[in-house]
């Protein structure tokens, strides 16, 4: 019985986490949002590699890597402030 009660709670927690991430991503500028959405498949499409994202945007893979790290740090900060 306790296990059955945990499932809905875990599901709600996961949905709340997803909502928090979506809100944080929405706060990024257009290019940052586009990079994160492509890298992590946030718009329902498949996740792309850094190289695939770089090719689509016409920039180097190493630059995508640096941008991605910076964007993730910004997202962590935004999420930490919301919690």
Give DSSP secondary structure letters for 1-59: -HHHHHHHHHHHHHHHHHHHHHHHHHTS-HHHHHHHHHHHTTTSSPP--HHHHHHHHTS
| pLDDT for 5 | 60
Residues with Cβ within 8 Å of 66's Cβ and at least 6 positions away in sequence, in order, are none
pTM of the model: 0.79
Q: What pLDDT band is residue 3 in, cutting at 50, 70 and 90?
A: low
Q: List, for residues 14-50, the tens digit of each pLDDT value.
A: 778 888 888 999 999 999 999 999 999 988 899 999 9
| pLDDT for 11 | 76
| pLDDT for 35 | 97
């Amino acid at each position: 019985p306790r296990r059955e009660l945990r499932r809905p709670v875990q599901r709600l927690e996961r949905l709340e986490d997803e909502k928090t991430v979506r809100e944080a991503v929405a706060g990024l500028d257009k290019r940052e949002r586009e990079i994160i959405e492509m890298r992590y498949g946030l718009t329902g499409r498949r996740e792309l590699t850094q190289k695939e994202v770089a090719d689509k945007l016409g920039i180097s893979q190493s630059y995508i890597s640096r941008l991605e790290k910076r964007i993730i740090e910004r997202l962590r900060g935004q999420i930490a402030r919301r919690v």
